[in-house]
Amino acid sequence: MTGEGIGFGKAIVFNEHFVVYGVPAIVSAIGKYTIAKVKTIDEPGWRLNDNRKATPNYKEEKIEQQKDSINRILKKMDIDLSKNGIEITLDGTLYCASGIGASAASCVAIARALSNHYNMDLSDEEINSIAYEGEKAYHGNPSGIDNTASTFGGLIWFEKSENNIMDRISLQNPVEIVMGNTGKVADTAAAVAGVRERREKNPEKYKEIFARAENIAYLAKDAFQNEDYQELGKLMNENHKLLQQIEVSSKELDFLVKLARDAGALGAKLTGGGLGGNIIALTPGKDLQERVANAIEKEGFQTLKTVIGATRGMR
């Protein structure tokens, strides 16, 4: 018998890093996903076949975190593999890179596959909480935003608190984006730790930046609901400036952001942990999406063309 599960990739549209401190963020699932399959084997413990396509060295650099993550998920689900073990196979259309929720998608997919395999019939809320546990291995102190988008899909307003606040933002029409991959694997845990350290050293400076980030989230929510993409693009550009000020951008990210804007993107910013990984560019309409993607690819970088705001059945 084989259990199967799915987890979607994500793009943080506003306020990565700020979200760790309770500032609202906006995140969307994207149309690319990871599939996990689980089958019983005759030996104890677990083994993994990771068939996902990835940025060079991504899987190698994340292997220890991945092992820790799977062990955390198994422990949280109270699964005993001392007699019969399992083989986990990962596949799907989500390209593994930093900044697109690859680790969260795998955590959600594995949790769903295990629930399916062992007939646990867990709810999405339970899957989300298990995936959050798995994410700790990759992020140290994750906000929970990635696994939430990966589990529930759609466009989500997210606030980290004792009980995370999560509201759907419904869009009449999903909007096209381009994600551009720097090809650099980022260490999110190190990026998060760096922000914490600098914030403790410069509390006044950071207080001001964080207040502006919060303001941007509310303006962006309105812009989404009004489908005001010009305004949304401006807010994305401003959000990128704040992320530069807290020192989580990089010369590669800034280069891709400028490329996208010069090619006509309404807005562009880093997405995810920063220091490498991906940018997200707002490109309403297929023609603009194509034009921006071509400009990035011409410089030798990989792109992902997808949409944000689509609500889809997650099973």
Which of 9, 13, 12 shows the shortest CA–CA distance to 30? 9
Q: Is 262 a catalytic residue?
A: no
What six digits make up the tokens of 111? 């949790």
Query: Which pLDDT does position 19 carry in this prediction?
Result: 94
Query: Which pLDDT does position 162 carry in this prediction?
Result: 87
Query: Which pLDDT does position 135 carry in this prediction?
Result: 96
Query: Which pLDDT does position 313 carry in this prediction?
Result: 44
pLDDT in tens, 134-144: 999 998 888 88
What six digits make up the tokens of 214? 């919060």
Query: Which pLDDT does position 141 carry in this prediction?
Result: 80
Query: Which pLDDT does position 312 carry in this prediction?
Result: 52
pLDDT below 70 — which residues of the chain?
311-315
Which of 5, 29, 31, 149 shows the shortest CA–CA distance to 91? 5
Separation between Cα atoms, residue 137 and residue 146, nearest integer Å:
13
Beta strand residue intervals within 42-168, DSSP E: 46-50, 85-92, 155-159, 165-168
Query: Which pLDDT does position 181 carry in this prediction?
Result: 93
Which residue in the list 146, 254, 262, 287 is annotated as catalytic?
Answer: 146
Separation between Cα atoms, residue 152 and residue 101, nearest integer Å:
13
The CATH code that applies to domain 2-168 is 3.30.230.10
Cα 152 to the center of its chain, rounded Å? 13
CATH 3.30.230.10 location in the chain: 2-168
Task: Provide the CATH topology of domain 175-308.
Answer: Alpha-Beta Plaits (3.30.70)
- pTM here is 0.85
CATH 3.30.70.890 location in the chain: 175-308
